[in-house]
Amino acid sequence: MSNQSSYTLDELAALTGAAVHGNGDIFVKEVATINHAKSDQITFLANPLYRKHLATTQAGAVILSPTDVAACPTNALISPNPYATYAHIAQLLAPPNTYTVVGIHPTAIIAKTATIAESASIGAYVVIGDNAVIENDVIIGAGSVIGAECSIGAQTLLHPNVTLYARVKLGQHIIIHSGAIIGSDGFGFANERGRWIKVPQVGAVIIGDEVEIGANTTIDRGALGDTIIEENVKIDNQVQIAHNVSIGAHTVIAGFVGIAGSTRVGRYCMIGGATCLSGHIEVCDKVVISGMAMITSSITQPGFYSSGTGFDNNARWKKNAARFKRLDELARRVHQLERVITQMTEKSLEKAE
């Protein structure tokens, strides 16, 4: 988080490794979009769709790539990755949280056996269970519930109304947004003569450093082993991760994704919104899956994967959907025709000889 309200361009360049073009002594105090920024704000240009706004921007400075410097009418920070540089600067200039007063709010309910660092901030109506451990500079927003034997690593932020069931282990520098539920029971039931019997979920959830979890996302505890989210994973809002799932480091998961139980996702993967992954499969490292895909079997080679059909006007889509049902029949007929043609060709060649 920022320790000051504004920075000079020279200071920002030193902190991010960017190069200054123009006046490095000017101060900026906020970030803004390229077409709405003012003289005390900094913006960025990463998507070529917004290059048309560069010539008329009123920003005090623009973060951009070397190829765009000549067209920039104002000061600039030059970076080979403008969006990443913007992300670092936005963190520095972001306004502080309004619920970061150090200490324990008088309405909080804390178990006597819980251990809480003096530098932690515990908001109103927070409940912390037996033997929980809250480390240095942790912020827990109002109304959150921390179950028994949970541990929360240093400088982790829980926004209001986050729930951690028992035995959840959080690393350092994690952000969890409101409404997220970590450690709820996985969907485990055994059928006996038509009746469903609950299978106790006795595992835990272990989350590595620098993970971010979006609002109303749910991560189930393991049935026997643990559900594991490795370091630097970024998970969007309203994602469902089932029991015993493992997510590799540096993977990003967009909103409305559902991952069924015991599936393993590798490192450096990107999973598009509304994608569904079946249970008990593996996705190797460096896989990109486009939105609304249905992954029903393991992916063993890195690459870009998609499924489903694209949208179309309704009348044509209905016709194509009806024809899609006949693909197997058509494939069989084509195969038969190929065999007939092959036989006819062979007979023709025999006669020619």
Please count the other Cβ atoms lying within 10 Å of the Cβ belonging to residue 231: 17
Q: Report the candidate in 81, 84, 36, 96 with the shortest Cα–Cα distance to residue 60.
A: 36
2: buried, middle or exposed (CB in 10 Å: 19+, 13-18, 0-12)?
middle
Q: Are 64 and 84 in contact (CB under 8 A)?
A: no
Amino acid letter, residue 42? I
| Residue showing tokens 């900026």 | 28
Helix (H, G, I), strand (E, B) or coil at 180: coil
Q: Are 136 and 120 in contact (CB under 8 A)?
A: yes
Separation of alpha carbons 57 and 32, rounded Å: 11
- Residue 150 is encoded by which pair of tokens? 């949970």
Separation of alpha carbons 264 and 242, rounded Å: 11
Strand partners, 271: 253, 289
Active site residues: 243
- Residue 122 is encoded by which pair of tokens? 């515990």
151-171 b/e with 16+ CB inside 10 Å = b?
bbbbbbbbbbbbbbbbbbbbb
Strand partners, 63: 44, 77
Amino acid letter, residue 89? I
